[in-house]
Amino acid sequence: MDSKYKTRSFRLTLLFGAGVLALLALRATQEAVQALLWLGALWLIGTATLHELSQRWPTHTPWQLVPTLLLASLLWLSPLQFACWLWAFAILLILPQPWWLVTFNILLATLSWWRVQAYLSTEQSMSSALILAALMLLGLIRSLYYRPLWQGISERVRLMPGTRLWTASQLLEDLPRESARSDREATHTELVLLRTQHRYCWSLAQALSRQLQPFEHCYRVDGRTLATLLTSRDIDHARQRRDALLASLHGPRRTRVISLACPLTLDAECEALAKQSRDLVIIEKVPSHA
Amino acid sequence: MHDEKPWPSRLFALIYVMGVLLMVGNAAWHYLMGDFLRILLPAVLALLLLGATLLHLTDPRYQRPSAYLVLISSFLLLAVELDQTSEAIILWIGLPPLLALLLLPPSSALLLNLLLAPLWLVLPVDGQVTYDMAFTYLAIIILGALAPLEQRRQQALLEATDPMDSECQALNASAIHELLDSEFARATLLQRRLSVLAIHLPQLEMAHEQFGARLRLELLQRFCSVAHHTCRAHDSLGRAQTSLFWLLLPDTGETGALMVRNRLISALDATVLAETGAIASRIAVCSPHPSETWTTFEQRLQIKGQALMESTH
């Protein structure tokens, strides 16, 4: 599974990068530079180890800020030693990132160039500015090409390859479909919403996935709320399955179970779940055809 | 496959033109300085870059050769310039690896950079390159490759989580297997019926051999749209093998499935492609027997599909 997502070579490069940074840190004379290089090495090691974690939920934190700031501050502190890193601003731009970050990146690149050009002759500083601008444009164009991909990542419906864990947008699609299907097939389907604390969310999702049947899925509504659609033969079967499911889950949580036979919207139910005072609320309505 | 998707060509050409202008500017600078011997190289390289620009514009397939042309010309100029200046070496030796990373895929860029690293470090005159410089240089080669690698990883992740086939509007093989598994479990637990149509398109291979990839794609897409129009919203179409499709019909018995089969065959007969005529299809119906297990059912389905594919040869 690892090699399929090119994680191994990526992780190896991360660790190599961290090693080289540590080496540079050992040789650095300025204390501030040393600290920054160690910081960079630690960040790379952290990224390499927490890699799996970042695959679980799509993150929207602007982590691209870290390398940009590190690069800019190193160039500011020791422009002569790190002059050859100036061009790396262009490569940082190829990562798709929010537009404010792109602007910030360009600003920092200009600032760093200003710092470096103090040591250059006029013609060299002019030509380096032009080349840097061209390279950054090249980087931006490449990021434009990958932007749809990046948006696809944050909007992908399945959160992790190989698991039955899906996004809220998929739940919104599945809700009307399952409700229509249970009507037609005369089965009983209910929406189960589980609200827990942030840190229990992942383990709860795993436990939930283990308990579900192959045709049922676990959805992540937000950072603390999980959902599933429980499909059973009839209402007695549903009660039996629901009790078994809830008994097998551990950890603090609030649960809300609503039969799909009731008219419902996901937003309203999530709000009701957040406000409900009891730990377990079950809204059952015997379907009209039963 | 996606790696080869053409980059926005005109914007790239713009960058290449900027490169040409920089080269011309370099030549003009030498002319103004009265350094006539050094005009020739940038002038020739400017022409080479212009050639690369045109190459890039004419056909997106040539983006790799044109990228190499750009790399060669800028490396040459940089090497000559580095050989003759003693100032700010450290700044300029950082340029070639970054340029390679921006223009080439990450793995080949990394390889090229590592191979050329000794050259760039030896080139500047009289021992200006210190150990510190070499390490800084090594660091930028490795760290620079992280950004394109991260991009590639994201792409791989997206592809791995995308259940659709890359060529047509059907689920891919792993997704349809997974769905069949789940539908089977659902049918068993809820005591509902389930039927699967195994559909073989015998023309697919022939269309590719005789008329090329375009017709093959058209055939696939026409078939998928016909199949989607024929079946109900909750039926799902998936591509189990290159020319073998599965159509899952939940809550449908064998007779219902036969009706769907006949509807599909007549709809496909009415779909005519200019080159091959009507879309030919061989369709078998497979429903699980009562108390049949998942593995035997899947085996039976596989065997039926295989038989369909072999009967046409």
Residue A278 falls in which region: left (phi positive, over 0), alpha (psi -120 to 50) or beta: beta
Summarize pLDDT for B208-229 with one digit per residue, the tens.
788 878 888 888 899 999 998 9
What's the CA gap between A282 and A267, in Å, rounded? 17
Judged by CB atoms closer than 8 Å, whether chains meet at A10 and B25 is answered as: no
B207 and B138 inside one domain = no
A33 φψ region: left (φ > 0), alpha (ψ -120 to 50), beta (else): alpha
Give the distance from CA A179 to its chain's centroid: 30
Within 8 A of A7 by CB-CB distance, chain B residues are 153
Closest partner residue to A91 among B18, B102, B156, by Cβ? B102
Clarify whether residues A171 and A278 are in a common domain. Answer: yes
- CB contacts of B98 in chain A (<8 Å) are 87-88, 90-91, 135
* A67 within a domain of the structure (yes/no): no
Within a domain: B168 = no
- Pairing relationship of beta strands B194-200 and A188-195 according to DSSP bridges: unpaired
Determine, yes or no, domain membership for A62.
no
Lowest mean pLDDT segment, chosen from A30-34, A240-244, B175-179, B309-313? B309-313
- Domains held by chain A: number: 3
Quick check: is B167 in a domain?
Answer: no
Give a yes or no: residue B245 inside a domain: yes
DSSP conformation letters of A183-220: HHHT-EEEEEEEE--HHHHHHHHHHHHHHS-TT--EEE
> Taking CB atoms and an 8 Å limit, are A91 and B148 in contact across chains?
yes
Query: Are both B140 and B224 inside the same structural domain?
Result: no
Q: Which of A99, A100, A73, A88 is nearest to A139 (CA)?
A: A88
Do residue A195 and residue A279 come from a single domain? yes
CB B192 within 8 A of CB B201: no
Q: Are residues B154 and B13 in the same domain?
A: yes
Provide the domain limits for residue B248.
173-311
- Per the domain annotation, does A288 fall within a domain? no
Mean pLDDT of B244-259: 90
**pLDDT at residue B1, rounded to an integer:** 34
Q: Are residues B154 and B6 in the same domain?
A: yes
Using CB atoms, pick whichever of A13, A130, A146 lies closest to residue B142. Answer: A13
CB pair distance less than 8 Å for A20 and B154: no
The alpha carbon of residue A253 is apart from the nearest alpha carbon of chain B, in Å, by 28
Model confidence band, residue B250 (pLDDT cutoffs 50, 70, 90): confident
Question: Which backbone phi and psi does A280 adopt, to 5 degrees?
Answer: -135, 120
Considering the domain architecture, whether residues B32 and B71 belong to the same structural domain is answered as yes
Within-domain flag for B236: yes
Residues A248 and A174 in one domain: yes
Q: How many CB pairs below 8 A link A and B?
A: 200
CATH code at position A185: 3.30.70.270
Which range marks the domain in which residue A82 is found?
75-156
Q: Has residue A251 been placed in a domain?
A: yes
Same domain, A255 and A189: yes
B96, B130, B161 — which closes off a domain? B161
Identify the sign of the CA torsion B77, B83, B87, B89. Answer: positive
Please tell me the predicted confidence (pLDDT) of residue A53.
61
* pLDDT score, position A288: 55
pLDDT tens-digit series, residues A229-246:
988 888 888 899 889 988
Q: Residue B144: which of A54, A90, A36, A106 has the closest Cα?
A: A90
Q: Are A157 and B164 in contact (CB under 8 A)?
A: no
Residues of chain A with confidence (pLDDT) below 70: 1-6, 51-61, 149, 152-162, 286-290
Which one of A156, A191, A224 terminates a domain?
A: A156
- Report the residue from A27, A130, A187 with minimal CB separation from B135: A27
From chain B, the residues in CB contact with A134 under 8 A are 15, 18-19, 22
* Residues A177, A150 share a domain: no
Give exposure, A49-66, as e/b (b: 16+ Cβ within 10 Å).
Answer: eeeeeebebeeeeeebeb
pLDDT digits (tens, 9 = 90+) for A193-224: 998 888 888 888 888 888 888 888 888 888 88
B22 lies in the same domain as B148 = yes
Q: Are residues A170 and A264 in the same domain?
A: yes
Q: Which of B122, B140, B161 is the last residue of a domain?
A: B161
Does one domain contain both B138 and B187? Answer: no
Give chain B's domain count.
2
| CATH number of the domain that residue B261 is part of | 3.30.70.270
Q: Does residue B177 sit in the same domain as residue B154?
A: no
Amino acid at A72: A
Query: Could you tell me which chain B residue has the CA closest to the CA of A155?
Result: B158
pLDDT, residue A3, reads 47
Q: Are residues A51 and A90 in the same domain?
A: no
Cα of first residue to Cα of last residue in chain A, in angstroms, is: 45
Dump the DSSP string for B210-262.
Answer: HH-HHHHHHHHHHHHHHHHHHS-TT-EEEEEETTEEEEEEET--HHHHHHHHH
**What stretch of H or E contains B146?**
helix B131-161
**What is the rounded average pLDDT for all residues in chain B?**
84
Residue B262 has pLDDT above 70, yes or no: yes
Total length of chain B: 313
User: What pLDDT score does A250 carry?
Assistant: 81
Same domain, B147 and B236: no
Do B154 and B242 sit in the same domain of this protein? no
Residues in chain A with CB shorter than 8 Å from the CB of B140 are: 84-85, 87-88
pLDDT at residue B297 greater than cutoff 50: yes
Residues of chain A in contact with residue B136, where contact means CB-CB under 8 angstroms, are 24, 81-82, 84-85
Considering the domain architecture, whether residues A192 and A150 belong to the same structural domain is answered as no
Answer yes or no: do A95 and A148 share one domain.
Answer: yes
Is residue A226 in a domain? yes
Q: Identify whether residues A152 and A175 lie together within a single domain.
A: no
- What sign for the dihedral angle of Cα B226, B230, B234, B239? negative
Q: Are residues B49 and B127 in the same domain?
A: yes
Residues B101 and B180 in one domain: no
In this prediction the ipTM stands at 0.71
Residue B166 covered by a domain: no
Tell whether B282 is covered by a domain: yes
In terms of domains, do A181 and A263 share one? yes
CB under 8 Å to A135, separation ≥6 — which residues? Answer: A87, A90, B98, B99, B102
Same domain, A89 and A39: no
Q: List B residues 24-43 in contact with A (Cβ-Cβ < 8 A).
A: 25-26, 29
B50 residue type, one letter: L
Q: Say if B25 falls within a structural domain.
A: yes
B1-51 per-position pLDDT tens digit = 344 445 567 777 888 888 888 889 888 888 888 888 888 888 888 888 888
Contact status, residue B132 vs residue A27, Cβ threshold 8 Å:
yes
**Cβ neighbours of B13 (radius 10 Å):** 17
Give B126 or B53, the one with higher predicted confidence: B53
B79 within a domain of the structure (yes/no): yes
